[in-house]
Amino acid sequence: MSYFESVPQAPADGILKLSVLSKADASSQKVDLGVGAYRDDKGKPWVLPVVRKAEARLHQDPASNHEYLGVGGHPALTGGAQTLIFGADSAAVQQSRVYTMQTISGTGANMVGAVFLRQFKQPQSASVYISKPTWGNHRSIFETAGHEVREYRYCDYSTLTLDIAGMLEDLRAAPRGQIIVLHACAHNPTGIDPTKEQWEQIAGVMAEQGHFPFFDCAYQGFATGSVDDDAFAIRLFASRGFEMLVAESFAKNMGLYGERTGCLHAVVKRPELLPRVSSQLNRLSRATISTASAYGAKVAGIVLQDPELYQEWLENMQTMSSRIMEMRKLLRARLEELRTPGDWSHVTSQIGMFSFTGLTTEQVQKLRAQYHLYMTDDGRISVAGLNTANIDHVAMAIDAVVRNAKF
């Protein structure tokens, strides 16, 4: 008998499985709306011009090397990321109540934070609450770290808008002191974000119930085109005195997908707590990755610390976010021109890379089999996969399956 005889087959990852199916499809009509990465109007990956400049500067630096980073990461990245998330005028930063460490992108930040909380959460019986629905990896990360994972209502599936009443009711009903995972902006997979007024309500209930916020911020600046607007919720919670963890990724907003560049931020109530918290986070990082990867951190650090490149980066993000907004408008317009049954206003009211279309699993499977359109089974599409060359095919295919017809 094998030592591994008792190992069961793990459930297939929906996104990775979809990617395999898409790559195997040789049809000229194929449109991949599953991949969570930005594409230009020709459907190609886009290396940000500002990233090209930062890379050139790094390559031309005679002092550049491949030495290990310190356990906390690259200071130019962590310092710049801290200011980016909390703002230059943040009281928490000015009072030395924030520790920032480099991680293996946002996923690594989530996992380090999850393991840290499993060891030190108060009370130890606290569960982790994730939105229904949420990014597919959230449940896996927190369960792997040893937490019980529960859900709070988020999407109103009848209108494809935020179920703010249900969300607040669930947060109030949860036992005191639970860990609540919140998407800072561009909610994945729905694209549904609370308004500023709704964030105030959420913060109020969280404070009443003594809940601990764990923000996941994968799209700052990429959602609205404004790094400040996209950080509103985090800065609101910080200004109200919350202790919290924040996972941050530079995959989407700098296009550093494969470089795995991210940070984990810890906000504490008093400065004297920070050395203990940072020591434990560093210990966990050392035990899992030893030190973080250098290349993407150095590129991002150059962009964040150079005023001219930073401004160009903001403009690059505007280019990406504006194209995605334009694709939303075009898709909605095409569907309404076709008189596709249903209300398609949610396509433009949602925000960020993803749109929750409301298509059923059966309709999604028909789109895949008959029209070579690839999206997740829950009907989520990556709007970045749309372009002026494929938008008509996508709209007509959606119209056909909604009508249960074929063009």
As a residue count, the chain comes to 407
Cα gap 205→203, rounded to integer Å: 6
Alpha carbon distance, N-terminus to C-terminus of the chain: 55
Six token digits for residue 392:
């008509």
Q: Does 216 participate in catalysis according to the annotation?
A: yes
Q: What is the rounded (10 degree) CA torsion for 91, 96, 102, 108?
A: -70
Q: Does 135 participate in catalysis according to the annotation?
A: yes
Strand 149-153 to strand 128-132: parallel, antiparallel, or no bridges (unpaired)? parallel
The closest of 113, 118, 89, 145 to 266, measured between CA atoms, is: 113
Cα gap 21→12, rounded to integer Å: 13
The residue type found at 212 is: F
Q: Does 252 participate in catalysis according to the annotation?
A: yes
Place of tokens 């008509």: 392
- Which one of 53, 252, 298, 366 is the catalytic residue? 252
- Which one of 32, 170, 216, 399 is the catalytic residue? 216
CA distance readout (Å), 252 to 83, 128, 135: 18, 26, 15
Orientation of helix 105-120 relative to helix 136-144, angle to 10°: 40
The residue type found at 235 is: R
Six token digits for residue 344:
């398609």
- Which one of 135, 199, 313, 344 is the catalytic residue? 135
Residue 351 makes CB contacts below 8 A (sequence gap 6+) with 185, 186, 191, 192, 193, 223, 224
22 and 371 Cβ atoms separated by less than 8 Å: no
Cα gap 176→254, rounded to integer Å: 38
Residues with a catalytic annotation lie at 135, 216, 252
